[in-house]
Structure 1
Amino acid sequence: MPHGTYVHESQVEERFSCAPDGGGWRYTAERSDGGTIELIADGRWRPARLQVTSGEHVLRGGAAGAELLWVTGGREGSARATGFVGDSPGLLVAVARSLGLTEGQRADVRLLMLTEPALAVRTVPQRWALTEITWHEADEGRLPVERYEITDLETGEITECYLAGDVVVAASGIELAGLDDPPNFA
């Protein structure tokens, strides 16, 4: 089970662990700013259960059919969306894996963006493209690293995300500072 640390551009550290869980996947993290995240994805990588804390704010959410539901600050919401995105790399992993793209493919999706620190939710249209898979030597052998281009379809801004299994190797504003065990590729 991978354990490691991400460092955000704001110098916030996110200490995480992730692993297959029953028929899905689990990601848990504690941040140096006091925030936490717990994501349980189902076998299709949809968010079965999500809980995010930021200061005194708490968001709980999950999938119900084609919709995502959430509760935060006493307000409830729902929207037809693929997944949640925000500051945590665990959310990027779940979205990328839920799309099931092969090299050269792309998909336009609606996602729910969690904004810090109040955990407000807004729907954002994005285009995810798996542009390249490269192989890197590691202690465990050769590891595939996938490069995704993520385009915000409202602003045209393009960011990148590099994944090895269920670990973000690098992404815009995020650095993998340490990893104790190899990623899961199941």
Structure 2
Amino acid sequence: MPRGRYSLHDVHDHTPLGEEHFHCAPGPSGWRYVAQRTTPTNPRAGSVDLALDDRGRPIRLELHAGDWQVRAAALNGVTWVRTDPTHAHATEDNAPAHAFTGTSPAFLIATARLLRLAPASPATRVRLVAFTDPVLAPRTLDQSWALLKREAHPTDNGPLTVDEYQVTALDTGEQHAIHIAGDVVVAAPGIELEDLETPPSTFA
């Protein structure tokens, strides 16, 4: 069960945004990721609880950011309920998308699991609903994912296989690289792996 810590920062000016303390593990029915989010001013800024089925679909997602909350799942596309800080009004919505995304590294792992790309295969288009900080506002976006290469790197615990993806935002054409080893993000824009207590898990 990988357990560790990511640091999060602004992709443009590298301003520190906080840290995400996580643990995750594959299981007989899929994969689960649980994390607590901190910021420089708030030790309990939010949390992430994401569960995928064995095909990489989000069967349960619960996000907290401040007093905002989202509960979501893949249902008729994707469906979610967003609750306001007073808990007086909850809004339910649905979109014809494949999965969810956001600032947590968990979403990068989830999208990679959903697409299951082969190295050097054609890029695949995916529609996602992003929950944006700080109020978990939903936004539908389209991305293109391509697995450029897969390399094994020597470590004290044996070879570590790292996948390098190229992700393109289809609305702007902006491209960036994401490096994933098993169920851990090694590096991505705005994300740095600062600490990892145990090696990444591998998927069957």
TM over 0.5: same fold? Answer: yes
TM-score, length basis structure 2: 0.88
Name the residue aligned to 1:70: 80
How does the TM-score come out when normalised to structure 1? 0.96
Aligned twin of 2:2: 2
Shift of 1:138: 1.3
Q: Distance in 1 between matches of 2:171 and 2:137?
A: 18
Which stretches of structure 1, 4 residues or more, deviate above 4 A after TM superposition?
none
Instruction: Tell me how far 1:79 sits from its aligned partner.
Output: 1.1
Structure 2 CA distance for aligned equivalents of residues 130 and 83 of structure 1 = 19
- For the pair 1:53 / 2:67, whether they are aligned, the reply is no
> Which residue, 77, 97, 111 being the options, matches 1:81?
97
Aligned equivalent of 2:154, options 137, 141, 153: 137
> Which of 13, 17, 23 in structure 1 is aligned with 2:23?
17
Match of 2:48 in 1: 37
How far did 1:128 drift?
0.5
Distance 1:140 1:68 in 2: 39
In 2, the alpha carbon distance for the partners of 1:167 and 1:92 equals: 9
| Equivalent residue number for residue 127 of structure 2 | 110
Determine helix, strand or coil for the equivalent of 1:30. strand
User: CA–CA distance in 2 between the matches of 1:11 and 1:113?
Assistant: 18
What SS does the aligned partner of 1:126 have? strand
Residues matched between the structures, number = 185
| Percentage identity across paired residues of the two chains | 44
Deviation at 1:22, TM superposition (A): 3.2
Match of 1:150 in 2: 167
Q: Counterpart of 1:125?
A: 142
Structure 1 residue identity aligned to 2:177:
E
Letter in structure 2 aligned against 1:4: G
- Structure 2: 5+ residue runs without aligned partners? 10-15, 40-44, 84-89
Question: What secondary structure is seen at the aligned counterpart in 1 of 2:151?
Answer: strand
Give the secondary structure class of the aligned counterpart of 2:112: helix
Q: Give the distance between the partners of 2:113 and 2:51, measured in 1 at CA.
A: 13
Q: Which runs of 5+ in 1 are unaligned?
A: none
Structure number with bigger Rg: 2
Matched residues in 2 for 1:182 and 1:76: separation?
38
Give, in whole Å, the separation in 1 of the partners of 2:37 and 2:128: 23
